[in-house]
Structure formats: C-alpha cells, structure tokens
C-alpha cells in the first residue's frame, strides 16, 4: 500500500473535493431528509386541513389515536398478508417460469416476451383490466368461464377482496421475478446439471440440489426489491376496493392515504407515515440479514 500522504507540500496539491461533492450530497439530503423531517414534525402537530383553527403541538396524541384505532392493527396485518402472499406466489411462479423458459422450445423468444409483458402495464391500468374485464361477476371472463362450467361466478371484491388484490399484484410482479431468475438460470453451469444426472438426480432433486442453491442469491435480491415496492402498493387497492369492504384491504399505506386525504388529518397521517417507515425498516433489517447470510458463501 502507498503511504498516507500528509506532508504539507503534497497537501497543497490535493484538490478540495467538498465543493464537488456538495451538490449531490445536498440534493440527497434535501430529497430524503426534508420529507422525513416534515413528516416527523407534522406527526407531533395538530394539523387538520378542514379546520385551520386546530393548531399547536400535539405530543404523542396522534400516535396514541392511531395505535388505539382498530383500523391500524388490521392495516398492518393486511399489509403483511399482501406482501407475504404476493412474495410467495411470485417467487414460486418466478422459479417455475425461469426453469421453463430456460428450456429450448419453438417460439421461446416470443414466449419470454409475453411472460415479461405484464411488467410494462401500469398498476392502475392493470387493476382496471382485472377488475372490469376479468374479475367482474357479471361481465368478466372469469365469471363467463365459471358459468360455462356450471359454477356460480365469484364476486371477488365482495367476498375475497384480499385474494383479488393479491392476484392482481402478483400478476404484475411475476414478470420481475421471472426476468431476474431467468437471467440467473442462464449462468448455471450445464455440466453441473449433467453431473447431477450422472449422480442419479431426477428433476425434483436437480431443482432442490442444483438449481435452487444456484438461484438463492437472485431469489434474495428479488425478495428484497419486491418487498420494498410491495409495501407501497396503492393504486391497485385504490382502483379496485378502495380499502374495503370495511377494512378488508386497507393496508398501512392505504390507511395513511385515508387519514390524510379523506379525513384531512395531516397529523394522524404523518404519525402513520412514521410508523410505516419504522415497519419498513424492521422488514428491511430481516431481509438484509438474510441477504448478508446468503451472499457470504
């Protein structure tokens, strides 16, 4: 290693770097810290958009009010159900598609394009298509198929609202998982699979002992990235169920929206926002620990 250079003559030659760094760092600080600081500030304020006379320091009352409201616990539960269910579905289907589309078959490139396609559909549009064209109990394709087979059509957003939302969000995110995992599949050493075949491994065992260990890192990455985005799912809920019926599909994200822009309670919504940040950090902590364990071979 070179010696640390702190001699005065050398020092003069060194450039001052902080003027160059300041714009970027400053922008990042503004970008990240100002909204967070404002949220923190508002969460301790009495602040309601409908009544400008309510002002002043609120202490912990915004938090107390939120934590005591039955909607809060339900929303956290819903959030976890949504994220968990979508993660499981996308990872399982992602692995399946990655393995499938890695095989040689006629029309593979077109099939690959099609399996990626849902990713390019905007969440609002996707939700509307699913709600009105597919899952509608009267006009939807699912209802038509159900009637064709002699079943009673399911009114998804009335009877299984969370399942309905999960289906839509999973449909949007399977392509992402497939894309990352398919790329990873292509770097799998074919001779390893052949060696496993020679060793007597059949399909499921090759999946278990060769393919899944190979995919463990990309799987963790997919899991982490999806979690970040899934915690913020909003449009799909807004378009389909508006958080209902009752609280059935109100996630924390959606609850904050309800507090802020339906009740116009900025203080309460900010308290929810702060709690959401904490929740996201707890989830992130768990994920990063699994990633760290996985990445260290």
Partner 1 sequence: MCTLELKNLRKAYGNIEVIKGIDLTINDREFVVFVGPSGCGKSTLLRMIAGLEEITGGDLLIDGVRVNDVPPDKRGLAMVFQSYALYPHMTVADNMAFALRLAGVPKAERDARVQVAAKTLQLDALLDRKPANLSGGQRQRVAIGRAIVRQPKAFLFDEPLSNLDAALRVQTRIEIAKLHNDLQSTMIYVTHDQIEAMTLADRIVVFNAGHIEQVGTPLELYHNPANLFVAGFIGSPKMNLIGAEVESSNGQSSTLRLEGGSPFTVPTALGQGEKVTVGIRPEHIAVTDQGTISGRVEVIEHLGNETIAYASIGGAEPLTVKLPSASTVQLGETLHFAPRGHAALFNQAGQAIALPRG
Among 116, 154, 196, 287, binds partner 1 (CB under 8 A): 196
Map residues 278-297 to x or -, x wherever contact with partner 1 holds by CB under 8 A: -------------------x
The separation between CA 226 and the C-alpha centre of its own chain, rounded to angstroms, equals: 4
Total number of residues shown for the chain:
297
The distance of closest approach from Cβ of residue 200 to partner 1 in the complex, given in angstroms and rounded to an integer, is: 4
CA distances from 66 to 248, 255, 257, 281 (A): 18, 10, 13, 19
For partner 1, the closer of residues 109 and 187 by Cβ is: 187
Stretch that binds partner 1, among 5-13, 35-43, 118-126, 213-221 (CB under 8 A): 213-221
The residue within the footprint of partner 1, chosen from 192, 229, 242, 291 (CB under 8 A), is 192
Give least dist CB 43 to partner 1, A.
Answer: 46
In three-state secondary structure terms, 51 is: coil
Helix (H, G, I), strand (E, B) or coil at 265: strand
Q: Is the dihedral of CA 186, 192, 198, 203 positive or negative?
A: negative
Q: What is the closest distance, in whole angstroms, from the C-beta atom of residue 213 to partner 1 in the complex?
A: 4
Q: Would you count residue 198 as binding partner 1 (CB under 8 A)?
A: yes
Contact flag: residue 216 with partner 1 (CB under 8 A): yes
Q: Is 106 in the site for partner 1 (CB under 8 A)?
A: no
Among 61, 102, 153, 197, indicate the residue that binds partner 1 (CB under 8 A): 197
Query: Are 102 and 186 within 8 A, CB to CB?
Result: yes
Q: Which of 194, 246, 262, 277 binds partner 1 (CB under 8 A)?
A: 194
Burial class (CB in 10 A: 0-12, 13-18, 19+), 138: exposed
- Quickly list DSSP for 100-127: HHHS--TTHHHHHHHHHGGGGS-HHHHH
- 48-74: burial string, b at 16+ Cβ within 10 Å, e else: beeeeeeeeebeeebbebbeeeebbeb
Stretch that binds partner 1, among 29-37, 116-124, 199-207, 224-232 (CB under 8 A): 199-207
Give strand pairing partners of 265: 48
Closest to partner 1 by CB, 141 or 212: 212
Q: Point out which span in 9-17, 58-66, 153-161, 211-219 binds partner 1 (CB under 8 A).
A: 211-219
Nearer of residues 56 and 200 to partner 1, judged by Cβ = 200
Binding site for partner 1 (CB under 8 A): 189, 191-192, 194-201, 205, 209-210, 213-214, 216, 297
């Amino acid at each position: 290693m070179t010696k640390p250079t702190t001699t005065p003559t050398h020092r003069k030659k060194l450039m001052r770097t902080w003027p160059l760094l300041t714009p970027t760092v400053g922008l990042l600080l503004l970008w990240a810290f100002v909204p967070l600081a404002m949220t923190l500030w508002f969460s301790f304020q009495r602040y309601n958009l409908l009544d400008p006379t309510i002002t002043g320091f609120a202490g912990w009352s915004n938090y107390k009010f939120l934590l005591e409201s039955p909607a809060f616990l339900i929303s956290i539960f819903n959030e976890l159900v949504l994220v968990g269910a979508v993660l499981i579905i996308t990872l399982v289907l992602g692995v399946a598609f990655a393995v499938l589309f890695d095989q040689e078959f006629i029309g593979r490139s077109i099939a690959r394009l099609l399996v990626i396609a849902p990713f390019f559909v905007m969440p609002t549009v996707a939700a509307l298509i699913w709600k009105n064209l597919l899952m509608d109990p009267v006009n939807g394709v699912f209802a038509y198929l159900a009637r064709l087979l002699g079943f009673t059509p399911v009114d998804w957003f009335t009877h299984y609202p969370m399942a309905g939302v999960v289906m839509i969000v999973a449909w949007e995110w399977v392509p992402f998982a497939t894309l990352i995992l398919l790329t990873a599949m292509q770097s799998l050493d074919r001779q390893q699979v052949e060696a496993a075949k020679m060793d007597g491994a059949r399909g499921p065992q090759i999946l278990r002992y060769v393919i899944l260990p190979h995919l463990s890192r990309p799987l963790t990455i997919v899991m982490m990235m999806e979690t970040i985005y899934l915690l913020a799912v909003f449009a799909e809920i807004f378009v389909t169920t508006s958080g209902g019926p009752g609280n059935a599909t109100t996630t924390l994200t959606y609850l904050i929206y309800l507090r802020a822009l339906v009740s116009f309670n900025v203080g309460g919504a900010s308290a929810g926002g702060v709690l959401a940040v904490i929740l996201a950090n707890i989830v992130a902590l768990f994920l990063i620990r699994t990633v760290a364990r996985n990445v260290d071979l």
